[in-house]
Every structure is written in structure tokens, then in C-alpha cells.
Structure 1
């Protein structure tokens, strides 16, 4: 099912000097189908479900430090997702249990950090941040995996 994630502002990269106002990201499966103004994407994909988010929508983050403490590897990975990250560094996810939990949740384990960006046909990894930089929602490989209530 195609979903359009919309926000008052969409950034291709977090330090984007020209964000898309009243923007949106169309997601089909695990891929980004399009990025642009909501009006244009709604017209292009009329059957899509639209999710409107408060805050700024942009690429999901890479969690660069140690994973948050939690009782189980699954909960440690979920804590990363709640921060708007969908990738972790292998130096902090070295145990087989953490790697398995990351794989089950489509969280990428990277050898080193890398820039993130919204790219058409790229993996649909999105984060929505409020005015204070707190994560409102995380989409990992096209699935909504965290939503703050």
C-alpha cells in the first residue's frame, strides 16, 4: 500500500537550506516513491493513504553511540528507533543477540557512520522531529515503527 507522509516541512537532508514547505514523502513498500509538495504527491498518488505529522520530516538518523540500556536486545533496538534512528554502528552492536534484533527490525548495522538523505527509490527511512528535536515518528524500511502519542 502506498502511504504519503506529510509535514509542514520536509528536508532531503537535515541541514537542507531549502526545505519543502507543506511537503511529503510517498512511500511504496520499502522504497521512497517520490518527495515533494503534498499537493503534487496527493495528485500523483490519489489512492494513497496520507499520514500528517506535526514537526519536520527528514531522513532517519544513524545512532552513533552505544545503544540505550534496556533489559533485552529487542528493547535496546526499539529504544534506538524511538530516537529516529534506523542504523547503528557495528562497534556498538557487536553481540549476536543485538545483531539479530537489529536484523529482525530492519535496522542497518554500519561499519562507520554515513550521511543520510531522502532519495527517490532509496530505502524509506524517515524521522519526524518536533521543534525541540524530539522524535515524533520513525519509519524504517517503509514501516511505521515508532509514533509518540
Structure 2
């Protein structure tokens, strides 16, 4: 089944399986794929965001389970708070899955990481479909689930076009400048490997 995603600017992406089958103005894409289902989104459709602090957020932070919120809170634990936890592979893997889910809720489709050393984290991240891009050394800025809040310019993957991976996000803003100003908490939806992996309720 082919689905066309379109934003308020009329920018459309036709998705078939894990790939972009077509991209361009809605009128052209819809005319080329008449039986497709059309999903309209307010705001802007983008190629999604790259979180530059993937290692820090996935392998050097613990994302508490909601059932632990009364004891550990809801924010990622790092430093001494992380060191005080006795984490086995099961808890590391679960933390990484929760961390990825929180990244997806911010329109993140890829994270920049040094090679991940924790096997449980590697496996958990691979299963989520989050893209991993390499990096050399530590980036500046403050690690944050919101890439707009880390103090660095926003980084987007290459624009989605015909034949590229179906990996993108929709933000409830008028343009990229408003996105940078209001932050990625404005994310409405994130698509990875052609699947809607996050949708704001």
C-alpha cells in the first residue's frame, strides 16, 4: 500500500514499504499515484533531525522506566546518579529503547555516535531502526533529547527524494526557523523505515 504524506506547504512524500517512491508537490505526486492513501499533516514535513549527542544519551545515560519515576524521576540520569545504579544488560537495553523512543518523539531519525561499546545498547538501538551516523570525538553543546536545545545548529539528514529511505518527521511549525525557535517538542510524527513510529496524541 502506497501512502502519500503531505504538509501544509503542499510538500509530499509517497512511501512504499521502507522507501520513498516519489517526492514533490502534492498535485504531481498524487497524479502519479492515483490509488494512494493521502495523509495530511499540519506544519512542515522535513527529513527529520540528527541528534549529535547519541553516545551521551544512549550509552552514558539511564532513561528511567515510568514505574521508577517516583524514585528516579523522569529525566535521563548521568554522572554520579548513573554510577549509583547497578545496571545489568537487561536494564541497559530497556533504557536504550526508552531513550530512542524519546528521541523519536522529538523528530530525531538518526543519532551521531562514537562506536557503541555496550552490546545491550547496540542491540536495542539496532532493533528500533534509529539511524546511526559516525562521529569523531565529542561534539560541543549540551546533550539533550531536543536537538534544538543543545546549543548547536540543527542538523538534518539529506532531503528525502525518490529512492531514498522513508525516514522523516513532521513538525507543527511554519518553517525551519520557527522549529529552531520553538524546539523539537513541536514534533507531530516521525517515520522510520516507512513506519509511523511516533505520533503525537
TM-score, length of structure 1 as denominator length? 0.82
State the shift of 1:116 in Å: 2.5
The residue aligned with 1:137 is 189
Q: Which is further off, 22-31 or 96-105?
A: 96-105
Larger Rg: 2
Number of matched residues?
137
The residue aligned with 1:31 is 19
The residue aligned with 1:7 is 7
Aligned-pair Cα RMSD in Å: 2.0
Assess if the C-alpha contact under 8 Å between 1:126 and 1:139 holds in 2.
Answer: yes
State the shift of 1:73 in Å: 1.6
- 2:49 matches 1:61: yes
Unaligned runs of at least 5 residues, structure 1: 10-21
Q: Which has the higher strand share?
A: 1
The residue aligned with 2:63 is 70
State the shift of 1:77 in Å: 0.8
TM-score, length of structure 2 as denominator length? 0.62
CA distance in 2, matches of 1:107, 1:54: 24
Q: Which has the higher helix share?
A: 2
Unaligned runs of at least 5 residues, structure 2: 65-94, 136-154, 180-185
- Residue of 157, 162, 167 corresponding to 1:120: 162
* Cα distance per residue 1:59-88 (max 9 Å; x no partner): 021111232752222111111111111111
